[in-house]
Amino acid sequence: MHSESRLSAQIAAEVRRARDEQDLRQDELALAAGVSVRSVHQIEAGKPTTRLDVLERVLSALGLTIDVVRRRQGFAHTRQR
């Protein structure tokens, strides 16, 4: 599984879990986040094409955030100069 697919799947699982824990339907979450139900569905389906601003609104409505942290070893690939 590519790292992009793995990340999308992890985000999807966390969004579904948080929505379920808060006893929200997809349409209720969409309304709270100010996005379409289709956007919520795509995020929960792990679609990697979701716009970041839409994802941020959904996460915020659920009380979630994403943190970006630097890997200890740096980039996985090094560029040739």
Burial class (CB in 10 A: 0-12, 13-18, 19+), 11: buried
Q: How does pLDDT run across 5-36, given as a tens digit for each residue? A: 899 999 999 999 999 999 999 999 999 999 99
For residue 74, the model assigns a pLDDT of 62
* Domains, the chain: 3-62 (1.10.260.40)
pLDDT confidence bin for 3, thresholds 50/70/90: low
pTM higher than 0.75: yes
* Whole-angstrom distance, CA of residue 58 vs CA of residue 65: 10
CB 12 within 8 A of CB 45: yes
Is the model's pLDDT at 81 over the cut of 60?
Answer: no
Burial string for 22-58 (b: 16+ CB within 10 Å, else e) reads: eebebeebbebbebeeebbebbbebeeebeeebbebb
Q: How does pLDDT run across 36-62, given as a tens digit for each residue? A: 999 999 999 999 889 999 999 999 999
Nearest to 11 by CA among 81, 79, 19, 33: 19
